[in-house]
Structure 1
């Protein structure tokens, strides 16, 4: 801890003014009592005009209420209170079309002061712009959950979605169906035309899924030429026409690849979550069994597990 007696009042003021991140003094009622620092021009504008205003004068009601709640928490716990929050144009009064286009993320570090300011309990609130790290975090998360070839969800993201859907089904009996399918004779495509052609067939199949499925449906590439479609709030009877339309559309698009897609079709297995399922893997296993039957039944068909 520095010995402040070594510094003059002017030097301490200069040190506070030089802080890269802005440090606010907020009173319990939400008054901007003081502002120090914020010199990093990459992230902050001059906020001196805020001093004397109240949070409710600057932010909309919902965001202002959130700040007041965080100030109350910091005052109650006395120790350091750390939060992450976002601000965009709609949160700030009067910005309208003049504010930043992107959401800005901050880490707030609030510490209760041992003395009152303007007759009120108060906190020191240091706001650090963490937008860059948040964007990097979101990018890494997307890359870890996205299949590089197709842009669909990968196996990891699929299993998370299936588990979430199973939780809803177990708790509220919310229906959900699962379709698993692959491209018929895909090995022949790879053997005759090469793996790049096989990749093209997989990409075309993924494009049809994006175009033909409902916005609530969840398509994913399980691996190789195998795909899974999770259809929330859908019984297998409701899912069957969707699966059949998908089968027909994929065959149509694969035929447009010319010789490569000549006669290319898909086979699929369909089932829904059942009350006795203890995990999402059970419905996936039943759908996979139905896919096996579709293959041995002549291909180019969708088979329901119970059929």
Structure 2
């Protein structure tokens, strides 16, 4: 083979490699889901794919940056720990993570996006792990569907309060914790006074509005750890973890006064109403959850029988 023939062969080979590189780049860029090549320190080396613009931001701005400069502490730690695990184990890792609206470059987004990350190692020339490929798959709709199904199973569809079944599961868990560790809790039964008169006078649509109005005001008074459940038609129960009887009565009295001063208003009606509340705290002598439920129910009955619009502890 002459020198000219060798030179021609090498040029053809180089052209083939260049063409193959262009084809691969075109292919990867056209992928709907984005994938990132990161070194072992969390630096973005390359950003490809993400052609489904309705699901993904343009990730080109990430190239040359480090995950520590892009994400909050929690996400940064997840990315770094995931990269380290892949480098150590040399195998596929799958993780799920949430990106808050303020981190999304699409500023019109008002809710978080969820992603499934699939991370695989990339070996260098000497067999060491030189980088990782991180494929990001948008699973936001899947997460929203899961949450909707969870809500259907756990919550009252009209008010958004937890349903009776979920409440029973929760109070059973708290009772078991109390028996084991002595961690106290209290219950409040809440019932709308003369609710039948509201339905008879204004109709069931207004009655439903009154119920939803009540739920809104109850939730405004509760901590994130408290649990509100719709126990019956116009009857609700609140579980107060780590709160004794006196503390629960103070919260209940504040709620009762707020409801009395805040009538429900619809387009055509203004409906004042009050609530009666019965409170009980778990006791060492209780043999089951039914004991505290019965005491709270008896306290509610006492509030009603002594004139309504009252809070009674038992």
TM-score range, shorter chain: 0.7 to 0.9
Q: Which runs of 5+ in 2 are unaligned?
A: 1-18
Give the TM-score taking structure 1 as reference length.
0.73
> 1:50 and 1:254 mapped to 2: Cα distance?
53
Residue 178 of structure 1, CA deviation:
0.8
Equivalent in the alignment of 1:15: 27
Alignment partner of 1:226 is 2:235: yes
Q: Could you say which structure has the larger radius of gyration? A: 2
CA offsets per residue over residues 15-55 of structure 1, 9 Å max, x none? 22321112222332323333332222223344345444443
Q: How many residues were matched structurally?
A: 292
Equivalent in the alignment of 1:116: 124
SS of match in other structure, 1:267: strand
Q: CA contact under 8 A between 1:204 and 1:253: conserved in structure 2? A: no
Alignment RMSD (CA, Å)? 4.0
> 2:69 and 2:206 mapped to 1: Cα distance?
61
C-alpha distance 91-208 of structure 1, shift in aligned 2 (>3 A): closer
Q: CA contact under 8 A between 1:88 and 1:99: conserved in structure 2? A: no
Alignment partner of 1:40 is 2:52: yes
Residue 11 of structure 1, CA deviation:
3.4
Match 1:150 to one of 159, 163, 169: 159
Equivalent in the alignment of 1:244: 253
C-alpha distance 194-80 of structure 1, shift in aligned 2 (>3 A): same
Give the TM-score taking structure 2 as reference length.
0.72
SS of match in other structure, 1:223: coil
Residue 298 of structure 1, CA deviation:
5.7
Q: CA contact under 8 A between 1:178 and 1:272: conserved in structure 2? A: yes
**After the TM superposition, which residues 1-307 of structure 1 pair with which residues of structure 2 at under 5 Å, given as runs?**
8=20, 10-48=22-60, 50-60=62-72, 62-88=74-100, 102-113=111-122, 115-116=123-124, 120-142=129-151, 144-159=153-168, 161-163=170-172, 165-166=174-175, 169-170=178-179, 172-191=181-200, 194-210=203-219, 213-215=221-223, 217-251=226-260, 253=262, 265-275=274-284, 282-295=291-304, 299-305=308-314
Query: 47-56 or 247-256: which moved more?
Result: 247-256
Q: CA contact under 8 A between 2:252 and 2:311: conserved in structure 1? A: yes
> 1:29 and 1:273 mapped to 2: Cα distance?
53
Q: Which runs of 5+ in 1 are unaligned?
A: 1-6
Q: CA contact under 8 A between 2:210 and 2:264: conserved in structure 1? A: no
Query: 13-22 or 285-294: which moved more?
Result: 285-294
